[in-house]
Amino acid sequence: MSRLRPDRSCAVLCPDQLQVIRPGKGWRRNDAFSFAETFACDANGPPWQAALAAFQRFLATAESGTGTLDVVLSNHFVRYLLVPWSAHIASAEELRGFAAAMFEDIHGDVSAQWDVTVSADRAGAPRLAAAVDRSLLAAIRTAVVPTRLRLASVQPYLMAAYNRVARAHTGKDFVFMLLEAGRACVLAAQGGKWCYVSTAAAPEPAPALASLLAREMQLADLQGDAVPPVYVHAAHRRGLVLPPVHGAAPLVLEARPLAGLAPTRGAGCELAASLA
């Protein structure tokens, strides 16, 4: 008889909400677990302070469970940029240092408090870099230590959503807009290489979102006469329809419903459910 795989939970930290999903599996698929807590942002501290406090409260409960835990950070908490390819960079450590210097050029001395990660793309291609407050990452790791969970990963929402929802649809040329409450992140590629990344405040009306996407595509200065395929994912807005952008109709990518979790039970956990 084979051993059961350990439970795997996904927690998403947002400025005003914590979402946790633990899918059921095998003969326990109907035992999928969901948890959501909404809270007010603390204007006196870092933007992630309230989310971290909610995460700590959840981990102190019996519902936190066992197994492995993936933590996903809202794009409100992450800064992105593209690192150009350089043949003079010989190691991953040098690459992170180069990316950190780029963040410093843009954001100043505050970037010294950030932890920088860089994607592992092929030689000759730009890399996608993400920066997160080092104190947030340390607090997440510390919070998990006394629990029965093992922290498997901490990921920015853009990377997690692209890999889980969009990658199967995109080709070498595309524009991907990831939406969450109050935040839009646009990632574009041409010739199979990253060429643009940006974050911006996201309006609610669909026409305004289409206008934002059109503006970001202009800023991306995409090459060629044809508009590349445009993909949009908004886990919190099922059924979203956007008008055409530069003559192309965006394809809205819907995450598959989580097996074993009724929509009413998963209410408020749409981001986590799309990643689990």
Q: What is the DSSP letter of 1?
A: -
Query: The CATH number of the domain where 153 resides is what?
Result: 3.30.420
In a domain, 196, yes or no: yes
16 found inside a domain: yes
Q: How much is the pTM?
A: 0.93
The tens digit of pLDDT for each residue in 38-88 reads 999 878 889 999 999 999 999 999 999 999 999 999 999 999 999 999 888
In a domain, 121, yes or no: no
> Is residue 175, in this structure, part of any structural domain at all?
yes
Which domain covers residue 41, as residue numbers? 8-74+133-159+271-275
**Residue 185 sits in the same domain as residue 144:** no
Give yes or no: residues 155 and 174 share one domain.
Answer: no
Q: Are residues 31 and 138 in the same domain?
A: yes
Residue 244 lies in a domain: yes
CB 23 within 8 A of CB 275: no
Q: Give 259-265's long-range contacts (Cβ < 8 A, gap of 24+).
A: 259/23, 259/24, 259/29, 259/32, 260/23, 260/24, 260/28, 260/29, 260/30, 260/31, 260/32, 261/21, 261/23, 261/24, 261/32, 261/34, 265/32, 265/34
Give every CB contact of residue 250 below 8 A, 6+ residues apart in sequence. Answer: 177, 210, 213, 230, 231, 232, 242, 244
Number of domains the chain is built from: 2
Q: What is the pLDDT of residues 186-200, one digit of tens each?
A: 999 999 999 999 999
- Residue 206 and residue 152 share a domain: no
* CATH code of the domain covering residue 191: 3.30.420.40
